[in-house]
Chains A and B, each alone.
Chain A
Amino acid sequence: MSEFTLYLLQQLINGLTIGSTYALIAIGYTMVYGIIGMINFAHGEIYMIGSYVTFIVIAGLLGMGLVSLPVILIVALIVAVVIASTYGWTVERVAYRPLRGSNRLIPLISAIGMSIFLQNYVVLSQGSRDVALPPQISGGWTFGDPSVFEVSFSYMQLMIWAATLITMTGLTLFISRSRMGRACRACSEDLGMTNLLGIDTNKIIAMTFIIGAALAAIAGLLLGLYYGVVNPFIGFMAGLKAFTAAVLGGIGSIPGAMLGGLILGVTEAMTAAFFPSEYKDVVAFSLLVLILLFRPSGLLGKPEVEKV
């Protein structure tokens, strides 16, 4: 295979890896928007907190002398999910629930305020500098001709693919097969009617935030291990990109968020391949603008009809 094809293949692998993590975070945005019609601006910060908790647990367990990596990762996963879900639940309870029913601008500003609050909360408690973790999972497969171009597919990337696949399959099964999932779907179709039918919508909305936060925590763990570095400001960009992915796929639709995340990841990787990598963010936002111009309901979304 030519060097160009191998290079493209590498970028494709990288793009799908990052894209699947965007998909995880995007699902949180899309679920919340689907049910209560608001953008949870603080969601990016939940992802950041998930990352931080992962680092704390891993560093703590390594410091205590634990060597077995699978155990460390599983404990980190559980703790990160629990704590991030708690944060997600608290944010909903404190900043969004009292404002339900008021005009769109007010919860949005509250969300922005919450996002700024969480970001600076972490700055004050953990410091604003980068925190680095030595790579825990290294090595991988390489193929291709070393003299031309070597495509590498690391174990970490495999882990991200596997984890996101399992998580998304689990979520899809939950939404489509379980009672709670059915209640979630009902809420996203018509909140008022669901309430009338006797389902406690407050609980369902809280559950949605918790699920979204849990997924963001998983993404935080994966990306934290992949990049090896966290700081309090990663939530902002990640949140923005994930929201772009959610809109790309059609906001309100979970498969859409997954698809959008993957497309965004690959587009970004391809851009970084051929242009200076600082401009990949510009591409992400331009993609958002283009999608909203030509297909505002996203790829898999239904066109929203506003009735008067």
Chain B
Amino acid sequence: MSNKLYNAVFASGIAFVLACLMIGVKLSTEGTQLTVEGASAEQWRWIGLGIALVFLAQLFADQIDALFGKLPKPQLGALLPEEKKMASLKPWLIALVIVGMLVWPFMVSRGAVDLATLTLIYIMLGLGLNIVVGLAGLLDLGYVAFYAVGAYTYALLSQYFGLSFWVCLPISAGMAALFGFILGFPVLRLRGDYLAIVTLGFGEIIRILLNNWTALTGGPNGISGIAKPTLFGLEFSRRAKEEGAVPFHEWMGIDYSSSHKVIFLYLIAVVLTIFVVYVINRLIRMPVGRAWEALREDEIACRSLGLNRTVIKLSAFTLGASTAGFAGSFFAARQGFISPESFIFIESAIILAIVVLGGMGSQVGVILAAIVMTILPELAREFSEYRMLLFGLLMVVMMRWRPQGLVPMKRPHLELKQ
């Protein structure tokens, strides 16, 4: 008991030291003078509450652990029907989901459709990073750079050459893939943590270049007035911007509604996402996908079995980057305006969190995690200033309690029933 008490007092003491100056005292500037003022009584109450919580948690640590142990662990896998039935059900399920996604936007508000489009962008990004981090095990912290390359490629091509969205889409993916290829070379020999830092540095380099190369990229002002995608030349605006073009609503003979544009963008996002999901799904089952997983498990064994790790790593980087390029050019089209501010390191961290929380390598998990990560902040609007704080905390906590993610990856397999 005295041991517990000692732990509890020690922990509360530490909590007090941590909080007393950083939260308990606030710096403020009066004119040119820097002054400190004690925090408000309310904040001291919160600090006191926190310390008391730490004290009690340490004192009753054993009991709390026992309580958590008694809670049933969620078995998401047990909810699904068994493998054979799944195999015949699956095509119907997928068809149902796709039809649902296509029909749904016509029945809900514009804001919801917009949110769904954003979620789809993050799903694409998550799936792309899933190839690099989840399947190939290459920790890439600079993924947002490829996202930026895709976005800026479309923006610049549309501004200088007037190319349409559909033409620029593969070009953006190609440019991003090229950058992924270029990044792949220096990091071929690096492992684990070094790889993470170098990719992080690469992401920062791209952001700094975008921010400072004003002649080409517009610098911190970004590029605005990016053309929106058209449906076979039909624009989704009130009046046609180009000479002789017919806006969509006139061609269809219906009234103009701003939700048309939003729904159209959403449908494009759905098509792109389905494409990405399908392609990656096939790739996982191909020798390339197996090679990625072999690389993740044990690189040296991989080499000793004759697999060319250069090709594997470069293919992972390139394909992951091209997916980001896809998402990036769609993002630029949707927003109409991009600036280097959208492509900071935190974005990379968020996408990484999506992949890790979803379960590395597992597509369903990543999709689920992307949906959760995009929708939760919208639902918890009152906590918006605590958003990033909770995000960081979530990463730490998830690693402690469920490092394999929400839906851990399962290789396609059949179990023998005895």
A residues with a Cβ closer than 8 A to B are: 33, 37-39, 49, 52-53, 55-60, 62-63, 79, 82-83, 86-87, 89-90, 94-95, 98-99, 102, 104-110, 112-127, 131-134, 236, 240, 243-244, 247, 276, 278-279, 281-282, 284-286, 288-289, 292-293, 296, 306, 308
Beta-carbon contact of A289 and B186 below 8 Å: yes
The answer to whether A110 and B198 touch across the interface, beta carbons within 8 angstroms, is: no
Interface of A is mostly: helix
B205 interface residue (CB < 8 Å to A): yes
B27 near A293: Cβ-Cβ < 8 Å: no
Question: Which of B80-88, B242-250, B306-314, B388-396 is the interface stretch?
Answer: B388-396
The 9 sampled A-B contact pairs (Cβ below 8 Å) are A90-B14, A99-B400, A108-B139, A113-B393, A115-B392, A116-B349, A126-B26, A288-B198, A296-B190
- CB proximity of A129 to chain B, nearest CB, Å: 9
Which residue, of A49, A57, A113, A286, has the highest number of chain B Cβ atoms within 10 A? Answer: A113
Asked whether A293 lies within 8 Å of B201 as measured between CB atoms, the reply is no
Instruction: With both chains docked as a complex, state the minimum distance between the C-beta of A103 and any C-beta of chain B, in angstroms.
Output: 9
User: How many chain-B residues does the 8 Å CB contact rule pick out?
Assistant: 60
What is the CA–CA distance of A86 and B10 in the complex, to the nearest angstrom? 12
B interface residues with partner A (beta carbon < 8 Å): 14, 17-18, 21-23, 25-27, 29, 32-36, 133, 137, 139, 141, 186-187, 189-190, 192-194, 196-198, 200-202, 204-205, 208-209, 211-212, 300-301, 345-346, 349, 352-353, 356, 360, 385-386, 388-389, 391-396, 399-400, 403
Which of B36, B187, B346 has the most chain A CB atoms closer than 10 A to its own CB? B36
For residue A62, which residue of chain B has the nearest CB? B34
Within the assembled complex, what's the spacing in Å between the Cα atoms of A122 and B25?
12
Query: Do B208 and A281 touch across chains, with their CB atoms under 8 A apart?
Result: yes
Instruction: Give the A-B contact count at a CB cut-off of 8 A.
Output: 177
Contact of A55 among B27, B190, B211, B391 (CB under 8 A): B27
Instruction: Let me know if A105 and B139 touch, CB within 8 A.
Output: yes
Residue contact A240 to B197, C-beta cutoff 8 Å:
yes
Contacts of B386 in A (CB 8 A): 120, 124
Contact B193 A288 (CB under 8 A): no
Chain B contacts for A102, CB-based, 8 A: 403
Option from A39, A82, A236, A279 in Cβ contact (under 8 Å) with B17:
A82
Chain A residue nearest to B391 (CB atoms) is A116
Contact in complex: A278, B21 (CB < 8 Å): no
In contact, B189 and A296 (Cβ under 8 angstroms): yes
User: Which of B14, B141, B204, B212 meets A276, CB within 8 Å?
Assistant: B212
Closest residue on chain A to residue B17 by CB atoms: A86
B67 to chain A, nearest CB (A): 18
Give Cα distance in the complex from A293 to B17, angstroms.
43
Residues of A near B34 (CB, < 8 A) are: 55, 58-59, 62, 131-134
User: What B residues does A123 contact at CB under 8 A?
Assistant: 388
Say whether B27 contacts A106, CB under 8 Å.
Answer: no
Chain A residues, CB < 8 A from B403: 99, 102, 106
Minimum Cβ distance to chain A for residue B193 (Å): 5
- Separation of A21 and B170 alpha carbons in the complex (Å): 46
Contact residues in B for A98 (Cβ distance below 8 Å): 400
Whether B393 and A59, one on each chain, are in contact in the complex, defined by CB atoms closer than 8 angstroms, is no
CB-CB under 8 A for A282 and B395, given A79-B21, A131-B29: no
Decide if B18 touches A292 in the complex (CB within 8 Å).
Answer: no
Question: Complex: how many Å from CA A124 to CA B171?
Answer: 42
- Contact (Cβ within 8 A) B18 A86: yes
Known A82-B17, A296-B190; contact A114-B392, beta-carbon cutoff 8 A = yes
Known contacts A86-B14, A240-B204, A278-B208, A122 near B186 by CB under 8 Å: no
Q: In the complex, what residues of A have CB within 8 A of residue B396's CB?
A: 94-95, 110, 113-114, 117
* A59 B204 Cβ-Cβ under 8 A: no
Lowest 3 A-B CB distances belong to which pairs?
A: A113-B395, A117-B392, A116-B392
Chain A residues whose CB sits within 8 angstroms of the CB of B32 once the complex forms: 134
